[in-house]
Amino acid sequence: MSALTPLRFEDGRLMLLAGLRQRHALTENDAGLGEQWRRFEELGPLPGQVGERRYGVMCGADAQSFEYRCAVEVIAFDEHDPGLGRMRITPQRYAVFAHRGTAATLGKTWRAILFDWLPNSSYRSAHRPDFELYGAGQEPARPDGEIEIWVAIV
């Protein structure tokens, strides 16, 4: 069994997330993600934004790449530019993990969760979006400190 263990298990709630989405190669370094976050932060607060938390949402992965969305929670989608990515997160059960460190080691934590902890646990992927949660004041383009990783499970 992995030395990595969840901080807690939590039932998520319905959320509407809006932000920039982009595909990244699995072999790509973290510079692509950092640049995506910088472009997203330049947009400033979005109309109807709820709080200051930022979400880094992972979905649509295949053997070569994954889709990543830099997002914030919003009240509704109707006031947003059609070019902005929109995602409805449905209520789901999550295993919540802590990543401590910089963006350079975030991929290592994700791999430990998905390829070590999950296959050796009594859970399986819910095949729903997983996400990083950045608290108010954290700068996702250069994260430091503790970042929560929420993995949808059944």
Tell me the pLDDT tens digit for each residue of 80-102. 787 888 999 999 999 999 998 77
Q: For position 88, which CATH number holds? A: 3.20.80.10
The answer to the question of residue 42 being in a domain is yes
- Considering its fold, how many domains does the chain have in total? 1
Residues of 25-53 as b/e, b for ≥16 C-beta within 10 angstroms? eeeeeeeebbebbeebeeeeebebeeeee
Structural domain of residue 121, as residue ranges? Answer: 8-152
Beta bridge partner(s), residue 74: 49
Tell me the pLDDT tens digit for each residue of 2-50. 578 999 999 999 999 999 999 988 765 557 888 899 999 999 899 999 9
The answer to the question of residue 2 being in a domain is no
Whether residue 31 contacts residue 141, with contact meaning beta carbons closer than 8 Å, is answered with no
